[in-house]
Amino acid sequence: MKFETPAGINPIDQLKVIGKPTDRIEGPLKTTGTAKYAYEYNEAVSNHAYGYVVGAGIAKGRIKSIDQAKAKAAPGVLAIVTAANAGPTQPGKFYADRLLAGPEIDHYHQAIAVVVAETFEQARAAASLLKISYTKTKGAFDLAAAKDSAPVPKQGPFGGAPQTSVGDFAGAFASAPVTLDQTYTTPDQSHAMMEPHATIARWDGDNLTCWCSVQQLNWGARDLGAILGIPKENIRLISAFIGGGFGGKGTALSDIVMASLAAKAAGRPVKVALPRPLIFNNTTHRPATIQRIRIGATPDGTITAIGHESWSGNIPGGRTESATASTKLLYAGANRFTELRLAVLDLAEGNAMRAPGEATGMMTLEIAMDELAEKLNMDPVTLRIKNDTQVDPEKPGRKFSTRKLVECLQTGAERFGWNRRQAKPSTLRDGQWLIGMGVASAIRGAPIMKSAARVRLNRDGVVTVETDMTDIGTGSYTIIGQTAAEMMGVTLDKVVVKLGDSTFPESPGSGGQWGAASATSGVYAACTKLREAVAKSLSLPSEDAEFTNGQVRSGNRIYPLGEAAKSAELVVEDAMTYGTLSQEYAQDTFGAHFVEVGVNKFTGEIRVRRMLAVCHAGRILNPKAARSQVIGAMTMGVGAALMEELVVDKQVGFFVNHDLAGYEVPVHADIPHQEVILLEDLDPTMSPMKAKGVGELGLVGVAAAVANAVYNATGVRVRDYPITLDKLIGKINVNA
């Protein structure tokens, strides 16, 4: 099915199942511990051994030798794989990192060996017996030191332009009556998902099966095939459940590569799980940025010039962090300029992490907007509303498909009690606590991609959906089930959803905020085809057949749905593809975040007291699941604002706090009452579902709203994240 014109009325609009706050259909499996994650398929893989990955002990240089004698002689050892005996490998297409290094070392903890033994303990013990000699070379680990020599890359992330220019930014900024020119920094951050990267690999001749934790199975099979030099058709990946990913499990990483190589060497299935301390420097992370934002405005708050430059670092071949993405679209302004620069650093690869680019860019842009509002003596909400635009600012002939940023800001301000905010910092008190409120806009792209599904109908009227879409804790099983139930006129308990197997029809997987809208559209296409097959089987005209209450009706003829499959199961497959609507319209999601904090005036301790997110993301397929996505994103935003930072040892060249003891993330005590308002809306330019994603929108802008609230409470403006108490102590006026 090809979607080429805006959607009209269709079966989804019945809203009998879609749009309801439905419990997760896989919830009982997860709450009883019976949902199978990558490392837990013991009954499916017999006689497995264990692999323990060894990471490089230097950040840059070369392996001189690896003495394996003691390790090979250790109890239970079956094989040791290094670059010397693994055969040729190369990077995949998505990640630039070499997932088995040697003899050259590109970054600390880069995988250089895997030891295979009968038990995990034996593999770990034997790995410690490897004697590895290195020759160190000088590396680059400091973004600030590399900033001035960082070039503009040939292309931006995913083929986007690294530089954009509209009008005369330099001239307009120089002549603007009110200007802001500030530099902000964001640190390296870790995905820190609950489930570690893990794989069980098994070879059957030339065919490889991996039970793994990969968000995009189509990318995973493609990249694993490229890395190992085997056809992707020989690879089967199974990821029925993923315990969090946030972009950090997009495709093949060292766990799946090393497990596959280990299983080949040992002649047996092998289980590999990366220990937590290895994950932080071995796998990918969100890269640090240095960002300069310049805004020129008239005294009434009209933006006349807006410029955003960002510097980030990566290994050779790695992508830039697209921190300027939101600035291109969020606010009006006739004269515009954005630029990305990329330094070569010898740290672990920087790559996609929830709302890549937009999260880091909005951490700074939305502070800048608050600073501009203060210079103008203008309310921050009013300034944002004044500079709204209904067309793409860089391409004024291109309208937004739907855009309710103003409504998000107005609704949030009213619900949050923004009128109680005091413009002068340090005005509101609660004993020793200084109280402040902050706001930030939110924008996140709404991409949609080709997605396929297979749908089956049996004689009992049970509908089974098969697609390789994954569920990373987002509710994919449930919204896909709801889509099939709505389309086929059955209750949700009559739908079976099977996901996360690369032998199923191909979806784009989980990532980029495209998963929900894309995967459900693929199911819509397949169910449309199944409806036609049902009508044909029952000799009914497909154009007026009604599917409702488990029955098919046409005129005065009524049949149970299962009657159509009485003789044989009906099986159909289809994919949703797209025309040019995404080029004709700017398709984005919008929101507003409001935060209230308390800051202890003596200690600088920050406590978030209230949070509100207002989100505009097309049709909400399941309000309960959508809210869960947003409050999880809001929690991640608090972490980014107040505590998350991978600390770089700039001499040794690695992230020091490479475990969950040292890398701080929010816990329950850090998170107060969270409220979410989902502005119901339809976007007919997206797909027949008229829906967009929301899981990354909930993060974008949160950290800036927290930062702005801290400033409103204390009068201390921190422009370097995270905002820790040491950046406030000694600067707060305790006598005010």
The label of the residue with tokens 């879609």 reads: 18
696 in catalytic set? yes
Q: Is the dihedral of CA 142, 144, 148, 150 positive or negative?
A: positive
What contacts 267, CB < 8 A, 6 or more positions away? none
Task: Please classify residue 675 by burial: count the beta carbons closer than 10 Å to its beta carbon, then call 0-12 exposed, 13-18 middle and 19+ buried.
Answer: middle
Peptide bond into 396 cis (omega under 30): no
Looking at the DSSP bridge assignments, the partners of residue 210 are: 201, 237
| Strands (DSSP E) found in 214-360 | 235-238, 270-273, 289-297, 303-314, 335-344
Tell me how far the alpha carbon of residue 180 is from its chain's centroid: 31
Q: Measuring CA to CA, how many Å separate 712 from each of 360, 432, 440, 464?
A: 21, 15, 13, 54
How crowded is residue 151: how many other Cβ atoms within 10 Å of its Cβ? Answer: 10
Q: How many CA atoms does the CB half-sphere of 82 hold within 13 Å?
A: 18
CA-based nearest residue to 614, from 704, 676, 682, 697: 676
Q: Is the dihedral of CA 210, 213, 218, 224 positive or negative?
A: negative
The DSSP call for residue 21 is -
Q: What span, in angstroms and rounded, lies between the C-alpha atoms of 78 and 74?
A: 10
Residue 309's SS3 state is: strand
Looking at the DSSP bridge assignments, the partners of residue 62 are: 104, 135
Ramachandran angles phi, psi of 285, nearest 5°: -155, 170
Choose the catalytic residue: 349, 358, 644, 696: 696
What contacts 540, CB < 8 A, 6 or more positions away? 534, 552, 554, 557, 559
Q: What span, in angstroms and rounded, lies between the C-alpha atoms of 222 and 502?
A: 11
Residue 324 · residue 363 · CB < 8 Å: no
Q: What span, in angstroms and rounded, lies between the C-alpha atoms of 559 and 567?
A: 14
Residue 83 · residue 100 · CB < 8 Å: yes
Q: What is the 3-state secondary structure (H, E, C) of 326-384?
A: CCCCCCCCCEEEEEEEEEECCCCCECCCCCCCHHHHHHHHHHHHHHHHHHCCCCHHHHH
Q: Which residues are catalytic?
A: 696
